[in-house]
Amino acid sequence: MKLSIYGAGRVGATTAFAILEKRLFDEIVLVDINKSLAEGEAMDLLHSTPFLKRTIIRSGNAEDITGSDVIIITAGASQKEGETRLQLLDRNVGIIQKIADEIKQYSPQSIVINVTNPVDVLTYVLWKRLETDSAKVLGTGTILDTARLRSLIGINCQVSPVSVHAYVIGEHGDSEVVAWSAATIGGVKIKEFCNCCDRKNCLGLEKIEEEVRNAAYEIIKRKGATNYAIAQATANFVESILKDEQRVWTPSVLYEDIYIGYPAIVGRQGVQRIIPLQLSREEEQKFIHSCEIIRNTLRQLKA
């Protein structure tokens, strides 16, 4: 099995290490415009393989991605403090188009996972440029947001996040929506669970939603970038795909005419099907608004 990663920066290198720990691939190729950086990261990662799995890890150029089973894209400008993900678009769209052309030339059969922000818009650009089956082109969407939500619910409700089933949908950005009406803890609707809870220091659902939405801003303010959680999210997503787990994730998938974060069953062939959520009227309106933000951004991009 072969993996290629575009981008050897903080997110790309951390993702490579997280995936390496899962012992999934026989070969990993790092491609970066900064060839020295890619070489250094490949060397460092290679030296960890005696503790993990015998893996060929090397830096390379576009032609070296040939035969990749999975390609992950983390290349692009990083989000700056105070900058929204959509404001990254102008700086990153050209990078994504160039990468798409290289994938189309050298490894058109790969499953392609985009991490670069704004992830929904750029995954759409990637899919259109590749001219391939949308099932095999995915973004990380709201997978990380969903993980943040479940972790905060777990802490707040003193329950394992594994027992929490709740989703963040929509744009991976400021208009994202928490689907509270579909959220459960141990099979119990979360609002019913809260009604039976007597905790005095409960944050409340609105505060949890606010913290999830602002998480990236707060992390960037303190350390300059997010990398560990998105790397783990991507690594687990890739593992689930390769093992054909048919697991429900919230990746950025083709929904009507746009790419957006929404629950979908994902397996070895990519997206199997989208799972319809029963949303409240307010949540439905928020989701429609989130879709329109992405549509408007795509219209501006096309113009």
Domains along the sequence of the chain with CATH: 2-139 (3.40.50.720), 143-302 (3.90.110.10)
Q: Which two tokens stand for residue 54?
A: 């015998």
Please, which pLDDT band fits residue 19 given cuts at 50, 70 and 90? very high
Residue 80 has pLDDT above 70, yes or no: no
Q: Is 251 annotated among the ligand-binding residues?
A: no
Q: Is 69 annotated among the ligand-binding residues?
A: no
Residue 38 has pLDDT above 80, yes or no: yes
Q: Is 150 annotated among the ligand-binding residues?
A: yes
Eight-state DSSP code of residue 77 = P
Q: What is the mean pLDDT of residues 139-158?
A: 95
Q: Which two tokens stand for residue 302?
A: 């096309």
Q: Is 297 annotated among the ligand-binding residues?
A: no
* Alpha helical stretches, state H, 88-223: 89-106, 119-130, 143-157, 190-195, 205-223
Please, which pLDDT band fits residue 79 given cuts at 50, 70 and 90? low
Residue 162 has pLDDT above 70, yes or no: yes
Catalytic center residues: 172
Q: Is 145 annotated among the ligand-binding residues?
A: yes
Question: What is the C-alpha separation between 157 and 163, in angstroms, rounded?
Answer: 11
- Residue 260's DSSP bridge partners are 253
Q: Is 273 annotated among the ligand-binding residues?
A: no
Please, which pLDDT band fits residue 25 given cuts at 50, 70 and 90? very high
Q: What are phi and psi of 185, to 5 degrees?
A: -125, 115
pTM: 0.93
**Is 172 in contact with 145 (CB distance < 8 Å)?**
yes
